[in-house]
Amino acid sequence: MEDATHPDRWHSTAAGVTVVGLATNLVLAAAKLAAGALCHSQIIVADGLHSLSDLATDIAVLAGLRISGRPADEDHHYGHRRAMTLVTALLGAALLAAGVYVAYGAIHSFHDHAPPVRPGWPLAAAIASVALKEALYRVTARVGRRTGDSSIVANAWHHRSDAISSVAAAAGLTAVAVGGDRWQIADGAAALLLASFLIVVATRIIRDAAGELMDRAPSADQTARIERAVAATDGVASFHAFRARRLGGRIEMDIHVQVDPDLSVRRGHEIAATVKRSVMAACPDVATVIVHVEPVED
């Protein structure tokens, strides 16, 4: 059976789940915006704009997948995986912009004399969105974790944030339906709560993308696993100059290992190859391992 982690296979899987998300976001955005316009609901319009931003990020992810899957060339000796990080940063920025826009509209709704909200159709759209977007989050997050693609994981969070925003919309619209005119303000209050959540999630996504662009090291747990794997490799007397960075959701690293100076070149090469296999087995997120072999100094 073909390995799901093979680059061609996981690019296909990631693209497939993104296309499904794109189609779902298109339908949900149209339904929410129409229901909001017809029924005068600020929260469902905000929720629809969130789905519309998800539609834009789906397109960005597909473009990123196409670029990042290209092999190394004369102008990009290390390949194109950094495209995933750039797309992740764009997704975070889009989500942040959506959160600020929703907050602005919610605050103004408290002062504007808008027509009364009719919660029927907006509430139905919000409930349908919760079910669909939570299911999309689970599927997309699983694909993102298996492929190590940070842009797919970020897109999964867009789906979950849309599901949570729809929960807030449903809660606000239910309050309007039960309380009538006395609870019209609940529509704007729920929109403001949604905006706060969007801004928090967007900030985290942007922070993680910025860390990758700055060549942030992997987590302490991953670093410890890598170091244990190297130290346990037969023939390695010691090691130093260990460096690692995250790139497109994966880890690239290099390390200097010290071996018996009387070993043959062939044996030294075999030890380096064993170190590479051991590291990748201990930490599957590692995509590239460069091993420098040095003699042990007296």
**Nearest-CA neighbor of 145 among 10, 289, 281, 20?**
10
Q: What is the mean pLDDT of the chain?
A: 81
pLDDT score recorded for residue 258: 93
pLDDT, greater one: 95 or 288: 288
Average pLDDT over residues 49-71: 75
User: Which residues neighbour 129 within 8 Å (Cβ) at sequence distance 6 or greater?
Assistant: 28, 32, 47, 51, 162, 163, 166, 169
Block residue for tokens 């929720």: 47
Contact assessment for residue 285 and residue 250, using Cβ atoms and an 8 Å cutoff:
yes
- Average pLDDT on 150-178 reads 80
Note the Cα 175 to chain centre separation in Å.
33
For domain 220-295, give its CATH number from 3.30.70.1350, 3.30.420.40, 3.40.30.10, 3.40.50.1220: 3.30.70.1350
Say how far apart CA 256 and CA 297 lie, in whole Å.
13
Structural domain spans, the chain: 7-213, 220-295
Would you place residue 181 in the very low, low, confident or very high pLDDT band (cuts 50, 70, 90)? low
Regarding the domain with residue range 7-213, which homologous superfamily does it belong to in the CATH classification?
Answer: Cation efflux protein transmembrane domain (1.20.1510.10)
Say if 7-213 and 220-295 have the same CATH topology.
no
Q: Using the predicted structure, report yes or no on whether residue 128 has a pLDDT greater than 80.
A: yes
Confidence of residue 266 (pLDDT cuts 50, 70, 90): very high
Q: What is the mean pLDDT of residues 253-279?
A: 93
Q: pLDDT grade, residue 73 (50/70/90)?
A: confident
Is the predicted pLDDT of residue 114 greater than 70, yes or no?
A: no
3 state SS of 235: coil
Task: Give the separation between CA 242 and CA 227, rounded to whole angstroms.
Answer: 9
